[in-house]
Structure 1
Amino acid sequence: MADAADELDAQAQAVVDDVSERGVPEWSALSVESARRLEDELFAASGPLAFARVTDLAIDGPGGELPLRVYHPDPGTRLPALCFFHGGLWALGTLDSIDGVCRRLARRAGRIVVSVDYRLAPEQPFPAGLEDCVTAVEWVAEHAASLGADGGRLAVGGTSAGGNLAAATCLFTREFGGPGIEGQLLLYPMVDCSLDYPSYDEQADGPLLTRRDVAWAHETYLRSPVDRYNPFAAPIRADSLDSLPPALVVTAGFDPLRDEGAAYADALADAGVPTRHDHEPAMPHGFLSLAAEVDAADAALDRVVDVLESGFAV
């Protein structure tokens, strides 16, 4: 299992201190609506990077209209694509809360990013969000030409709960057919629905994510205890992980999710899936959203971009 550094990165600690000084409670201590508003306030990009073309649109999804946001860094040029799923414990998050990460990924990697505003729990529990993500991937593959994308180079990725949805999308397309997926970016992913990892004890009180938050997320997202063993909710529970797309798994030392992410990276590699595990021992959960404030997070984002630019030559 991966470890934490002796201390949190100093710039990341300054962000954590600022959040604490603002009196922000744990996500699990708030109502869903309050947590959603606060999550957007904390993570929506302020003064976002100027971008060549950003288009908001919607497609027909399994539950009605499914909003997407398409970032094209070089209109007129056909580029590989990345379908990206935001984090937020399956209950929080919007296109705005992940906007900064998407802009940086698209600009630095020279890749079209399609951000997906999937349905959220508790109003729409598992598997609604996954159904939306699969639908979005299928739609992007089918309409790649009109988006200016290379339909033969379509990756998926996400942060936290979005990393779970990216991993589950790869499992779903392997099992039931669908477009070829070039690779999967699993950024501090939630891949199990248990709390049976040492990092849940070591990092029980955060920063930025607590054991209680994750337990609340499981209770909110899952329809019943049986879903905890469904591989499309907990990808690490799959009977087999072979024949999945190449993967980059990123974990953070000061994160309750740290050890399940590391375990999933090991399980993918053991199944013969080309896998790279980047561990950032001095970072908290969600650190890639802090790239504008934290130098080490910005450097880690560059390493994610390297994998995208290489076509997942991990």
Structure 2
Amino acid sequence: MKVTNKMIDKQLRLRGRLYNLLISKPTETKYIKFMHTVKKQTENRKGKTIEGLQLREEWVTRKDGSKLRICIYTSHNQKKDVPGVLWLHGGGYSQGIPELFASTYKRLIEARDCVIVAPDYRLSIEAPYPAALEDSYAALLWMKSHAKELGIREDQLVVGGESAGGGLTAALTLYVRDTAEVNIAFQMPLYPMIDDRMITESARENNAPIWNSTTNRWAWKLYLGDRFEKEVPIYAAAARATDYHHLPPTITFVGDIEPFRDETIQYVTNLKEAGVPVEFQLYKGCYHGFDIISPNAEISKKATSFFIESFKHAVDHYFAEQD
């Protein structure tokens, strides 16, 4: 899908152009080098939060003996027996840390009292699939086993994330459904990265700002490793699933000019056909991650409002049924 400047929302154009200048005429080698540079630059953000939130860290031991860092965000006057939200950060599976998305955590906590648990999962530049999924699942099990300590209800666990974090969310809910060790109240995979095949119209030859067909292909290649362009499990790329029954109610949105448009729409369609309740919006003229890149644009405010209001409604609706 070829994207022209006129197709982009006017308030999103400048930020999109400026971001693209960071990686002019990218190559695969340059992309990987840039991912490593970003990783180094984000190290100094670890342990930092924003006004209005408290942050503490916990460490979970993996099967190989290494440690998974988990960030726990709460308000300063945290209440008890509130929903627990596992938030999986974005970054193409290859970059990012939980601290970069603290503004999202603040919005969620202010909307409805909750506790955010955000794992610093392994990135694909160091460990391909299934490392990130294993870390996400370990964090979810840790949440459940420490529910009382966290002040959350074991039957009120929520999973969400944006982009690659949305892809991990969709994959994790499939995995949880099939292992049946944890109950998830609802999921929030925002503009999720879920289809490595890149066969949809929006994913082919997409040249939109921020994320396009080229960067998408490189990111999937890093994440899948030896599995790239071979048989890929549904827990790596959720769009490959054929059974969407018994998945949790879902909240999501996506821009109409980004690579993930069609796979998100198909995912929503599959969920609805399987009888899963879905709240979904498609935003015109929006590239990938527009709500984060240009948060003050009117279209971004609309998307954020939809997301937060849907979260509030889901908490009030699905959790009330369990009381």
Matches for 1:91-110 after TM superposition, within 5 Å: 91-110=94-113
Aligned residue-pair number: 309
CA contact (8 A) 1:75 1:148 kept: no
1:19 and 2:19 are equivalent in the alignment: yes
Partner of 2:219: 217
CA contact (8 A) 1:26 1:209 kept: no
CA contact (8 A) 1:40 1:97 kept: no
Partner of 2:207: 205
Matches for 1:1-314 after TM superposition, within 5 Å: 7-21=7-21, 26=26, 28=28, 30-38=30-38, 49-63=50-64, 64-78=66-80, 79-201=82-204, 204-222=206-224, 223-225=226-228, 228-290=231-293, 292-311=295-314, 313=317
| Percentage of matched positions with identical amino acids | 25
Distance 1:224 1:41 in 2: 29
With over 3 angstroms needed to count, the CA separation of the structure-2 counterparts of 1:4 and 1:102, relative to structure 1, is farther
CA contact (8 A) 1:101 1:288 kept: no
With over 3 angstroms needed to count, the CA separation of the structure-2 counterparts of 1:70 and 1:208, relative to structure 1, is same
- Structure 1 residue 9 displacement after superposition: 2.3
SS in structure 2 at match of 1:195: coil
Q: Deviations over 1:1-27 (max 9, x none)?
A: xx9996322222221133245566658
CA contact (8 A) 1:82 1:157 kept: yes
With over 3 angstroms needed to count, the CA separation of the structure-2 counterparts of 1:213 and 1:141, relative to structure 1, is same
TM-score (normalizing by structure 1) = 0.88
With over 3 angstroms needed to count, the CA separation of the structure-2 counterparts of 1:75 and 1:145, relative to structure 1, is farther
RMSD of the alignment, in Å? 2.8
SS in structure 2 at match of 1:262: helix
TM-score (normalizing by structure 2) = 0.86
The letter for the 2-side match of 1:137 is L
Q: Which runs of 4+ in 1 moved over 6 A?
A: 39-42
Distance 1:260 1:243 in 2: 20
SS in structure 2 at match of 1:311: helix
CA contact (8 A) 2:255 2:283 kept: yes
SS in structure 2 at match of 1:198: coil
Q: Which stretches in structure 2 are left out of the alignment for 5+ residues?
A: 319-323
